[in-house]
Structure 1
């Protein structure tokens, strides 16, 4: 049955966290990882601004909206510092290998491949079926030839970003909570709430900020469920990757992270009514992606 909680594989996934499952370690570790990420991020961008000199003000404006390929690469690759910070934290605070955050590596790669194939198939179906627009014509953002040339490094950049988020929320936080608390209401919901808070951006999303944060929270719950069923981060990283590829590399909003997109949507974050109208559609796509991943995993 679709709602059956088959979480036997989760026990193996959380096993590395059992010896350091004290709640104070998680609180300390999450705090240190967050501070480390912020510090590394700031140092990185200060070096970039210093190197660019007079051009740094223009780059800063682009970074705020991710409106150029250069800005997007800097933003996406900076998530590597998130992975670095949590990896060091796991070693120091929990005295265990950071690789354990992924689960069994061979299994994770196998599951990543299977779920990626399912996601690509779903994306093809979605793009072939009507409607073929979003209430208006797509706007070309860059030439197809340039987009193809940039695609390999763009995929790597998105992979760095989504892997970092999954390692932190479905890896570190979920593992440590599940090693301490048996109830999924704790280890599923709390990381998803933290994930949602990280996507609450009223300055850019305006009156839809809360709806987008709730969307992110529901996405987090589904990824937590996939991780618990699979026993690795492979499936969650795959779903997250292709979701973001669609939103960042194929069709992006014109005023938010659009620098690497082939096309722009006919409305932006400032168009509150249009965004709100499309959020239920996006939720259905997210739900279908979760089902497709479940089918690929046979779980």
Structure 2
């Protein structure tokens, strides 16, 4: 295992004191909340009370395209907060969170191609029986027409999370602490805790957090091996594209899905049965990304 390329990100992480990192995370939280409230206030002003309340309902249900778009694009407040915190607290430019941009773009493209091929194989020859019972959701023509906006919204959401957990937190920890166990596990643990939602997943919430932790480890490992945020962005984008826009489980995020899986996210037995498959797909995706990058 070689994490030498990670120096491209850690060398850019100036002012790496842990006290500054704690301050930076506090700034991220405060700015994310403030920007989110400002966006909501502007939306209410522009839409009026009735249409604004309807939008909030659509966001809570996630069963319409507009509701899911609002949720995904709203995550951009966190991404902007990360960029501002990195500049204000550490004096870091936005590009320093990505790594060398030409290399990041090339790595992103290579991993996207590899994972798209893998997901096509999985979709055409699925290893689980529920795939035969997928229910049509959005009309194919409308789905294709909305795909550019869907990719943009997913890019904003996944990009914001990757900027925070891998681009900012992991690189700042790596600049201060040499032990990979710290800068791999801590960001992944916080990323996983961000997926804790017992109100949605019920007793399955712990399994969702466990999966998210392993996903975070895979993304953190790819970031360290490649020295840029490109591979982690590709992994995250393709994962969410599959789970949100191609075949979504029954639950509060079906508004952009082409198909809906016969899997209720609150059904403990069904989720436990599907977890090994999900973990297997994650492992194959991580391996495919490594093979594409030759790292």
TM range (shorter): over 0.9
Structure 1 unaligned segments of length 5 or more: list them: none
Is 1:233 aligned to 2:223, yes or no?
Answer: no
Matches within 5 A, 1:55-204: 55-131=51-127, 133-134=129-130, 137-204=133-200
Residues 136 and 266 in structure 1, CA contact (< 8 A), matched pair in contact too: no
CA distance in 1, matches of 2:90, 2:126: 50
Is 1:294 aligned to 2:290, yes or no?
Answer: yes
In structure 2, the residue corresponding to 1:252 is in which secondary structure?
Answer: strand
CA distance in 2, matches of 1:120, 1:58: 35
Deviations 1:251-289 (A, max 9, x none): 112322111101111122222211121111101000000
Find the partner of 2:201 among 198, 202, 205: 205
TM-score calculated relative to the size of structure 1: 0.95
Cα deviation, residue 55, structure 1: 2.4
CA distance in 1, matches of 2:239, 2:230: 14
TM-score calculated relative to the size of structure 2: 0.96
Find the partner of 1:46 among 37, 41, 45: 41
Deviations 1:81-116 (A, max 9, x none): 111111111111101212100000000000000100
Deviations 1:137-165 (A, max 9, x none): 11111110110100111011101111111
Is 1:27 aligned to 2:1, yes or no?
Answer: no
CA distance in 2, matches of 1:144, 1:212: 29
Residues 188 and 213 in structure 2, CA contact (< 8 A), matched pair in contact too: yes
Q: How many residues align?
A: 294
In structure 1, the residue corresponding to 2:263 is in which secondary structure?
Answer: coil
Is 1:12 aligned to 2:8, yes or no?
Answer: yes
Q: Which stretch has the larger CA shift, 53-62 or 132-141?
A: 132-141
CA distance in 2, matches of 1:99, 1:240: 19
Residues 131 and 261 in structure 2, CA contact (< 8 A), matched pair in contact too: no
Provide the alpha-carbon RMSD of the alignment.
1.3
CA distance in 1, matches of 2:90, 2:130: 47
Deviations 1:202-224 (A, max 9, x none): 11010010110011011101111
Q: Which stretch has the larger CA shift, 33-42 or 110-119?
A: 33-42
CA distance in 2, matches of 1:121, 1:192: 26
Cα deviation, residue 50, structure 1: 3.5
Residues 61 and 252 in structure 2, CA contact (< 8 A), matched pair in contact too: yes
CA distance in 1, matches of 2:61, 2:180: 36
CA distance in 2, matches of 1:45, 1:279: 36
Cα deviation, residue 35, structure 1: 1.3
CA distance in 1, matches of 2:78, 2:173: 19
Residues 196 and 206 in structure 2, CA contact (< 8 A), matched pair in contact too: yes
